[in-house]
């Protein structure tokens, strides 16, 4: 809550200022610009992952897989992982708009896991993976540096 330097009621200068100006003005919010930015970027990164997953599932010739293959999973497995993870990331981005502390923690964990999954998928499609990793790093930065004013 912020107070402005208006005269108090009953003082000599109080007659010059309306009474509504003598009360403190509440300016507190439950979220900050960084959390809004982080939420929007989470939704965008989640939608990118959903697109990556759908393409991997329905158009297996779109991605180029080298002779060593993909790390751990086949292309269909990566498609399902990206599809499910993308949906979770997008939903978490929406929940981040509430500014709740638990949503911030889940957001950082999911963004970190999403960046690792995109790093492992880097050999199949480098451009999309780099874009998603960059968005995840921006989200983590925004959520961690948002400050305590966003807490409930």
| pTM of the model as a whole | 0.67
Half-sphere exposure of 146 (CA within 13 A, CB side): 31
Encode the chain (152 residues) as per-residue pLDDT tens digits: 555 555 555 555 555 555 555 555 555 455 578 888 888 988 988 898 898 889 888 876 666 566 555 555 677 777 888 899 889 988 988 888 888 888 899 999 999 988 888 887 777 778 888 988 998 899 899 889 887 655 55
Distance in angstroms (rounded) separating the CA atoms of residues 107 and 35? 10
Cβ atoms 132, 43 nearer than 8 A: no
Distance between alpha carbon 129 and the CA centroid of its chain, in Å? 17
Q: Cα angle at 83 between 78 and 88, to 5 degrees?
A: 125
Q: What is the CA radius of gyration of the chain?
A: 23
Distance in angstroms (rounded) separating the CA atoms of residues 90 and 34? 17
Distance in angstroms (rounded) separating the CA atoms of residues 33 and 78? 33
**Per-residue model confidence (pLDDT) at position 81:** 84
**Per-residue model confidence (pLDDT) at position 140:** 92
SS3 7: coil
**Per-residue model confidence (pLDDT) at position 63:** 64
């Amino acid at each position: 809550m912020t107070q402005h330097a208006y005269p108090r009621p009953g003082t000599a200068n109080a007659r010059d200022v309306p009474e509504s100006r003598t009360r403190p003005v509440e300016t507190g919010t439950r979220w900050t610009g960084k959390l809004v930015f982080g939420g929007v970027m989470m939704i965008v990164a989640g939608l990118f992952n959903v697109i990556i997953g759908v393409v991997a599932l329905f158009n297996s010739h779109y991605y180029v897989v080298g002779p060593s293959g993909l790390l751990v999973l086949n292309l269909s497995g990566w498609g399902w992982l990206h599809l499910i993870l993308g949906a979770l990331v997008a939903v978490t981005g929406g929940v981040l708009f509430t500014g709740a502390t638990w949503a911030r923690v889940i957001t950082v964990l999911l963004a970190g896991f999403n960046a690792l999954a995109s790093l492992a998928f880097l050999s199949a499609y480098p451009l999309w993976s780099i874009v998603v990793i960059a968005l995840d790093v921006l989200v983590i930065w925004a959520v961690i540096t948002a400050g305590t004013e966003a807490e409930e």
